[in-house]
Amino acid sequence: MDYLIEVMKWNYQERIHQNLVYISHLTVSISFWLDPDRIQKAMIVCSKREIAYDLLMVFKDKYPEWFVERKTPEGMRVTPEEMKELREVPFISMVASVGKNDPKEMYDYLGGTKNDKRSEELDGAFKAEKSNLCIVIVVDMWITGFDVPCLTYMYNDKPLQKHQLIQTISRVNRRYAGKDFGLIIDYIGIRDNMRQALKVYGGNTSVAPTVDDIEQATSIFHEHLAVLRDLFKNYDLAPFMNPEANPFERYRLLAKAAEYVFLSTQELNIEGKRKTNKVSFKTYFLKTVKRMRNAYDICQPSGNLTEEESALAQ
């Protein structure tokens, strides 16, 4: 199962607001009354219980209907037998441990001395596919060893790294009917930590590029393409610009360019960080092409490149 990660970086108040925006949008994705056969649940991961509870109260003020306890979302197709197994729960809930110094309102909401029993009941409700409990806010619970295949969306507002990061994001990568990938909205910036963790603990290190990645890759692509065009300024590149050009002309040009590169004894003076270095034309060409191709692979699907640029890159 693949991941799609969208990175957002805001301060706490901005993140609270953006959570509202995205969760509002999420209601479309998990609208059982529009598509009752497609079940998708969501998890919001917060760094502190106080933040999680504040966010819950913001939701309660904006979406009071989410706190009405029901057995299933309105419009859900449920058999009488399935209905008997379900308990009445809100659409959204917070699950976290409690401490003796917690504010009384939050302490009571989390079940107080009966926190374990409350958490166990909500555990069963969230894992029940057709239960009304569709969104949970968590802090220190349910982020490891918690398996809900229909969990599709994760909104992360907690610094994560290493094994805990892998365990947490893995909550949304379970295979489930109608689910192509897990979507992670990242408010903190765990992308680099995720790549590093995947290298250490294994797994697919290919993560969908962000807008920033694409913009940076496009800039790098243009820079290196300009260098390559300058290296071959005496060559006629017209066959690569014209889609109706004779293929033979393209191959002839490629063969001539390859011969020029690999037989060249020219040395170039390249500015380094501290001094000017002499580099062979072949070495400089191959390194520049590699960097350009890496950037091209990231920015090309975005549609930011012209047909001419794409043709030259290939």
Please enumerate in sequence order all residues whose Cβ is within 8 A of that of 277, keeping only pairs 6 or more positions apart, or say none: 269, 270, 271
Which domains does the chain carry?
2-208 (3.40.50.300), 212-313 (no CATH)
What are the pLDDT tens digits along the chain (314 aa)?
444 444 444 455 555 555 555 555 455 455 443 455 567 888 888 888 898 998 899 889 888 999 999 999 887 888 999 999 999 999 999 999 998 889 999 999 999 989 999 999 999 999 998 999 999 999 888 877 778 888 888 887 776 656 666 676 677 777 777 777 777 777 776 666 666 655 554 555 455 556 666 777 788 888 888 888 887 777 776 766 666 766 667 667 767 777 777 777 777 767 666 667 777 877 888 888 888 877 777 777 667 777 777 767 66
How many residues in the chain?
A: 314
Q: Return d(Cα 230, Cα 48) in angstroms, integer.
A: 54
Tell me, yes or no, if the pTM score tops 0.75.
no
pLDDT digits (tens, 9 = 90+) for 103-146: 999 999 999 989 999 999 999 999 998 999 999 999 888 877 77
Q: Show the DSSP H helices in the chain as ranges.
A: 12-29, 49-62, 80-85, 104-109, 115-127, 162-169, 191-201, 211-231, 238-241, 247-263, 281-299, 307-313
Phi first, then psi, for residue 192 (nearest 5°) are -65, -40
User: Other CB atoms closer than 10 Å to residue 154's CB: what's the count?
Assistant: 24
User: Is residue 141 classed as helix, strand or coil in its secondary structure?
Assistant: coil
